[in-house]
Amino acid sequence: MEKTEKFTMEVLEEKRKPNVFAMSSICPDGSHVIIWDFDVTKSPSNLNHIEKALKPTQRNFLLSTIYIMESRNGYNAICLDKLDKETVASIKNLTPGDDKRHLEVGIKRSWFLRFGYDKNIVSQLSEGRFNHFTKSNPHRIALKNFFNYEIEKDRYFDDETQIYLAAYWDWKRERRQINGSK
């Protein structure tokens, strides 16, 4: 298993094994990857709407591959291109369906991709295979280690190995899993 040299971990509840993680958009050099949050019910038609919303964004901003994930709360997407914070905020603001509260919170610090053991990658958009930006190697490694999703490291990836990750125990999530509800 490929590992990062250092995961910056913030464990908020030490009595239990973490069941929720949050991966930050920020890279060691201060740039950000793009993380979108779509709070919609999981369904093939909603996934199709998200793909249709992201394709023009990808084309207009010449973004590389976008990975779409699903969980019990809906969908998220991530693009590993490293951009400045203002550009990421503009892209998120112009993407139909992206949660505007997620945008506002991220403008203050960074955006987070929250996930538990229930999230997986269900789609990828490779519209034109644009490679105009350096891509984040630590986020590539995190997708491999946490989502079991292999992305080949090409010349466009940086050589960084640090990622900002929070890990914590969510008692509400555990209670839902024990009771068999979502």
What does the alpha-carbon distance between residue 55 and residue 104 come to, in Å, rounded to a whole number? 23
| pTM (global) more than 0.75 | yes
Please check the confidence at residue 4 and state whether its pLDDT lies above 50. Answer: no
Give the model confidence (pLDDT) of 124-149 as tens digits. Answer: 888 656 788 999 999 999 999 888 88
Each domain of the chain, given as residue ranges in start order, spans: 30-160
Q: How far apart are the first and last CA of the chain?
A: 31
| CA-closest candidate to residue 170, choices 112, 117, 103, 99 | 117
pLDDT class of 27 with cuts at 50, 70, 90 = very high
Instruction: Please indicate whether residue 18 or residue 21 has the higher confidence score (pLDDT).
Output: 21
